[in-house]
């Protein structure tokens, strides 16, 4: 990746998480990245830690970068990105969208000219994705739309760039939203679970930092075990529950309190 420059249009928490992950994984260094944001003084502070070069506007980013990451709020895309169509269509530009609710069809509609010709389908090479913040530590998920306008070579570049810091999970366009909720919103649910376990630990005398470390490493380990074995989560749960043992008592109480149903209710509240 030494010959690539990546540019962020928008440099909020998610873009910064991606940049941090890329640098820490040795995929790119900060000097190979540029970014723009609404408030230049804040941008300068946010880019300083990694040595990312702050630029003043999206056009400068598109001009400077080979890989352009659209990382602004979804409602801003029409006004900010549509005027860049001609620049994005120039040879050698690979566009990665991380905006929720924006799939390939929506971008194609955005880039359709008055004469009905879709600039996107002809010239703009774009892949729509939804990332999550653990990409900052190389443990992310990148929900990736199964259709794109990338060439095979560009797809390989995309995977070499983001594969080291995330699971690239391809899903069809109709399921991008629910996949985003499971991978992108549920970290907040998991944070609450870790916090709750920490509170329980403190209740019974553990130091809070110790309780949080134990809970966080437990969550990481359970996920790693599933990824390594593919064992059904129910079977993994059963393997910890001995007959008449301590764990099954806690499981029974969680079932009584509607633990799994409450999680599904949380997803329903977002999707519904």
pLDDT digits 0-9 by tens, 189-248:
999 999 999 999 999 999 999 999 999 999 999 999 999 999 999 999 999 999 999 999
β-bridge pairing 140-145 and 125-131: antiparallel
On the question of pLDDT at 54 being above 80, the answer is: yes
- Return the closest-CA partner of residue 95 out of 163, 166, 87: 87
pLDDT for residue 1: 61
Which of the four pLDDT bands, split at 50, 70 and 90, describes residue 117? low
Q: Cα(230)–Cα(6) distance, rounded to whole angstroms?
A: 34
Q: Cα(78)–Cα(102) distance, rounded to whole angstroms?
A: 11
Residue 71 annotated as lining a ligand binding site? yes
- Given a contact cutoff of 8 angstroms between Cβ atoms, the answer to whether 143 and 171 are in contact is yes
Q: Which domain holds residue 251?
A: 180-269
Check whether residue 75 and residue 161 sit in a common domain. yes
- Given a contact cutoff of 8 angstroms between Cβ atoms, the answer to whether 233 and 226 are in contact is yes
CATH of the domain at 210: 1.10.3730.10
pLDDT for residue 3: 86
Which of the four pLDDT bands, split at 50, 70 and 90, describes residue 123? confident
Q: Cα(30)–Cα(98) distance, rounded to whole angstroms?
A: 20
Q: Is residue 58 part of a domain?
A: yes
Residue 11 annotated as lining a ligand binding site? yes
On the question of pLDDT at 120 being above 50, the answer is: no
SS3 36: strand
Check whether residue 107 and residue 223 sit in a common domain. no
Residue 72 annotated as lining a ligand binding site? yes
Task: Strand 140-145: give its sheet, edge to edge.
Answer: 53-54, 33-36, 6-9, 67-70, 94-97, 125-131, 140-145, 166-171
Q: Cα(4)–Cα(51) distance, rounded to whole angstroms?
A: 16
On the question of pLDDT at 78 being above 80, the answer is: yes
Tokens found for residue 187:
């970290």
Strand-pair partners of 169: 143
pLDDT for residue 53: 97
CA distances (Å), origin 147, targets 49, 64, 85, 140, 155: 35, 26, 20, 21, 11
Q: Is residue 1 part of a domain?
A: no
Domain count, the chain: 2
Residue 81 annotated as lining a ligand binding site? no
- Given a contact cutoff of 8 angstroms between Cβ atoms, the answer to whether 59 and 75 are in contact is no
For the question of whether the overall pTM of this predicted structure is more than 0.85, the answer is yes
Tokens 């905006």 sit at which residue? 99
Residue 193 annotated as lining a ligand binding site? no
Check whether residue 158 and residue 78 sit in a common domain. yes
The mean-pLDDT minimum among 74-78, 119-123, 139-143, 186-190 falls in 119-123
Q: Is residue 128 part of a domain?
A: yes
Residue 107 annotated as lining a ligand binding site? no
CATH of the domain at 106: 3.40.50.720
Residue range 169-183: average pLDDT?
95
From 118, 145, 171, the end of a domain falls on 171
Q: Cα(175)–Cα(128) distance, rounded to whole angstroms?
A: 13
Residue 9 annotated as lining a ligand binding site? yes
Check whether residue 110 and residue 232 sit in a common domain. no
Mean of the per-residue pLDDT values for the chain? 94
Q: Which residue has the higher pLDDT, 135 or 112?
A: 135
Residue 270 annotated as lining a ligand binding site? no
Residue 26 annotated as lining a ligand binding site? no
Q: Which residue has the higher pLDDT, 121 or 26?
A: 26
SS3 129: strand
Check whether residue 58 and residue 130 sit in a common domain. yes
């Amino acid at each position: 990746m030494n010959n690539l420059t990546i540019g962020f249009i928008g440099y909020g928490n998610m873009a910064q998480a991606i940049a941090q992950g890329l640098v820490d994984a040795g995929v790119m260094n900060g000097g190979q990245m540029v970014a723009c944001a609404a408030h230049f003084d804040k941008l300068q502070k946010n880019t300083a830690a990694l040595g990312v070069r702050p630029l003043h506007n999206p056009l400068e980013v598109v001009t400077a970068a080979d890989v352009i990451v659209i990382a602004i709020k979804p409602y801003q895309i029409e006004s900010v990105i549509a005027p860049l169509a001609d620049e994005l269509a120039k040879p050698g530009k690979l566009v990665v969208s991380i905006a929720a609710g924006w799939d390939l069809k929506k971008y194609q509609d955005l880039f359709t000219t008055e004469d009905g010709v879709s600039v996107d389908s002809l010239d703009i090479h774009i892949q729509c994705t939804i990332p999550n913040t653990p990409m900052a530590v190389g443990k992310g998920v990148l929900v990736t739309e199964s259709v794109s306008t990338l060439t095979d070579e560009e797809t390989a570049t995309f995977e070499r760039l983001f594969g080291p810091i995330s699971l690239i999970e391809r899903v069809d366009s109709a399921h991008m939203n629910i996949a985003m909720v499971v991978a992108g919103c549920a970290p907040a649910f998991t944070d609450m679970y870790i916090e709750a376990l920490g509170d329980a630990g403190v209740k019974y005398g553990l130091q809070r930092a110790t309780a949080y470390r134990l809970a966080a490493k437990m969550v990481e380990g359970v996920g790693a075990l599933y990824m390594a074995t593919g064992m059904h989560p129910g079977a993994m749960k059963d393997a910890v529950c001995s007959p008449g043992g301590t764990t099954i008592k806690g499981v029974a109480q969680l079932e009584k309190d509607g633990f799994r149903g409450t999680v599904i209710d949380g997803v329903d509240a977002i999707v519904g």
